[in-house]
């Protein structure tokens, strides 16, 4: 059954805009939706992020879990519906495209310590926990036909194994590898790759996407026995949290819900039922964990229901019901 907008409170313009587009199925040219979009793009919090992203690649990356990193803010704006036509996104994208590896994936500035197999110096590199997210964001921003983006996707796609995507990085990363067996799949890399492949018609139903989805669903089944690369699916994983930055239940469900054939999978349904059980008496959802880097945003508090988190859950439900 369709999800009613009345189930959600009257949140900030960027929430209202996505509700109109994703739940109410308004078109981008709808007068009310266009008005909310303009308010969203012009809102102070969005302008702050845009100003920060003009300094791309931003601070040197030392941890992909750092929610303040530019890659996560870029993805958030892309998911809100901003495009390359929203100034100054064109200049930000230009800076991103300047740093493409010979292999194909786009690079960001990072420093891998020598004791982790790196050089200990600041270098432009890529890993499977950042390159897919950059390509995903560029496609969402309107560069799906860009030849540089296609080259990046082709290389990332080629790295899949029979048990999913491993921990992988550019040749310049030296001997770096995450804390796990080299034969294990990296859960976060698989999540990022599925997120990317969902945006490309040619890859959404591909063999590679099927492998990645099965890898992640199998890990849910074996969550008490397996924690590849230290990615567990216990208490912290099951907490509702936004924005969708790391490896957690809401992020995983959001990505898996983009693949309609997975909706009836018992493992997907099991996770969805767990999330649905967290709604309050008004059918709304509250953050159970927060990213301090996003302090001040309405989803970065645990005292009141969150407009954005409630929307994210209802969007997943809407995808399932629609299918």
pLDDT tens sequence for the chain (323 residues): 444 556 665 789 999 999 999 999 999 999 999 999 999 999 999 999 999 999 999 999 989 999 999 999 999 999 999 999 999 999 999 999 999 999 999 999 998 877 777 778 899 999 999 999 999 999 999 999 999 999 999 999 999 999 999 999 998 887 888 888 899 999 999 999 999 999 999 999 999 999 999 999 999 999 999 999 999 999 999 999 999 999 999 999 999 999 999 999 999 999 999 999 999 998 899 999 999 999 999 999 999 999 999 999 999 999 999 75
Q: What is the pLDDT of residue 212?
A: 98
Structure tokens at 269: 């349904």
Indicate the pTM of the whole model: 0.96
Structure tokens at 99: 């740093």
Q: How far is the C-alpha of 77 from the C-alpha of 253, rounded, in Å? A: 20
**Which stretches of the chain are DSSP H helices?**
13-18, 31-42, 44-53, 70-80, 89-97, 131-138, 147-158, 187-197, 201-204, 207-221, 249-256, 266-276, 307-322
Q: What is the pLDDT of residue 1?
A: 41
For residues 89, 92, 98 and 99, what is the CA-based torsion angle, rounded to 10 degrees?
Answer: -120
What is the SS3 assignment for 108? strand
Checking phi first, is residue 292 left (phi over 0); if not, alpha (psi -120 to 50) or beta? alpha
Helix (H) or strand (E) holding 124: strand 122-125
Number of other residues whose CB lies within 10 A of the CB of residue 289: 14
What is the SS3 assignment for 169? strand
Sign of CA dihedral 204, 25, 321, 313: positive
Task: Collect all residues with Cβ–Cβ distance below 8 Å to 184 and sequence separation of at least 6.
Answer: 163, 166, 167, 228, 229
Q: What is the pLDDT of residue 7?
A: 62
Q: How far is the C-alpha of 95 from the C-alpha of 40, rounded, in Å? A: 24
Q: What is the pLDDT of residue 113?
A: 78
Q: What is the pLDDT of residue 306?
A: 94
Q: What is the pLDDT of residue 2?
A: 45
């Amino acid at each position: 059954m369709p999800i009613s907008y009345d189930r959600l409170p009257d949140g900030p313009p960027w929430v209202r805009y996505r509700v109109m587009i994703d739940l109410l199925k308004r078109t981008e040219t709808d007068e009310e939706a266009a008005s909310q979009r303009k308010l969203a793009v012009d809102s102070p919090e969005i302008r702050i992020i845009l100003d920060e992203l003009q300094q791309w690649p931003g601070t040197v990356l030392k941890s992909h879990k750092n929610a303040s990193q530019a890659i996560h803010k870029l993805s958030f704006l892309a998911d809100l519906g901003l495009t390359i036509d929203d100034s100054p996104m064109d200049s930000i994208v230009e800076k991103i495209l300047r740093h493409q590896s010979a292999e194909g994936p786009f690079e960001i500035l990072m420093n891998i310590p020598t004791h982790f197999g790196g050089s200990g110096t600041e270098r432009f590199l890529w890993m499977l926990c950042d390159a897919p997210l950059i390509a995903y964001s560029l496609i969402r921003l309107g560069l799906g036909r860009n030849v540089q983006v296609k080259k990046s996707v082709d290389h990332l796609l080629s790295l899949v194994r029979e048990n999913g995507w491993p921990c992988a990085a550019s040749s310049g990363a030296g001997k770096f590898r995450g804390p796990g067996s080299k034969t294990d799949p990296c859960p976060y890399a698989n999540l990022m790759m599925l997120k990317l492949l969902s945006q490309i018609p040619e890859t959404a139903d591909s063999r590679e996407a099927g492998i990645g989805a099965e890898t992640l669903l199998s890990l849910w089944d074996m969550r008490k026995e397996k924690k590849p690369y230290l990615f567990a699916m216990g208490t912290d994983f099951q907490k509702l949290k936004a924005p969708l930055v790391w490896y957690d239940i809401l992020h995983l469900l959001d990505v898996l819900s983009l693949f309609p054939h997975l909706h009836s999978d018992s493992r997907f349904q099991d996770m969805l039922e767990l999330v649905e059980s967290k709604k309050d008496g008004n059918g709304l959802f509250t953050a159970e964990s927060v990213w301090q880097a996003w302090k001040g945003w309405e989803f970065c508090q645990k005292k009141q229901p969150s407009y954005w988190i409630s929307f994210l859950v209802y969007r997943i439900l809407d995808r399932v019901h629609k299918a």
